[in-house]
Amino acid sequence: MLMKELDSFTVERLEEFIRQPLENGLTRSEQMELARIALAAKRAEPVYQYHTGIINEEGDIDWYWVDCDKGFYSQYDNQHRRIVYTTPQLNSPEIPEGWKLVPIELTAEMAQAAGEAHEGESYLPYSIYRAMLSAAPEKP
C-alpha cells in the first residue's frame, strides 16, 4: 500500500516541494499523504540477517542471506551480517529520455502496426520497429 501511495507523487513534484516547501502548491491531502508515507517508513521493522554458505555438488560454496533473531545477529561477525528493513522497494524506475517501456508480449495493436508498416514500403526493420513502438500501450 505504501508504494501505491508514493507512486502518486512524481519526482519533479517532490523536488519542487523540497525546493519551496511553502510555495509549492501541494494540497493538504498531498501533505498528509507524504506524512503517512514518512511515518510508515519510520515504523519499518529491522530484519536481522547473517551470511552463510553451503557446499554444493561441485564443491563450490553457495552463499545465502538467512534471517535470524537479534541475539544471534549480535554474535555473528560484522563482515557477514546485515540489517535490512521491511520498507518496500521502489517499483517505478526512471525512464531515460528517448526510451519507452513496452510489453514483453507483442500486443495485437503492435502486430497490426508492424504489418501495416511492412505493406507500406519495402522491408525496413526500422520502420516496422517505430510503428510497433508507436502502437505500444503507454501503461499496463
**Order of all β-strands in the sheet with 46-55:** 61-68, 46-55, 81-85
Q: Give the largest CA-CA distance in the chain.
A: 70
User: Residue 113: phi, psi to the nearest 5?
Assistant: -60, -40
For the chain, the structural domain boundaries read 2-42, 46-85, 95-140
| 92-101 average pLDDT score | 70
C-alpha cell at 126: 526500422
| 98-110 average pLDDT score | 79
3-state SS class at 85: strand
User: How many degrees, rounded to 5, is the angle at CA 57 between CA 77 and CA 48?
Assistant: 25
**Residue 17 predicted with pLDDT over 80:** no
Q: Distance between CA 60 and CA 137 in Å, rounded?
A: 45
What confidence tens digit (pLDDT) does each residue in 18-54 have?
777 667 667 777 777 777 777 777 777 889 999 999 9
pLDDT computed for residue 51 by the predictor: 92
pTM: 0.38
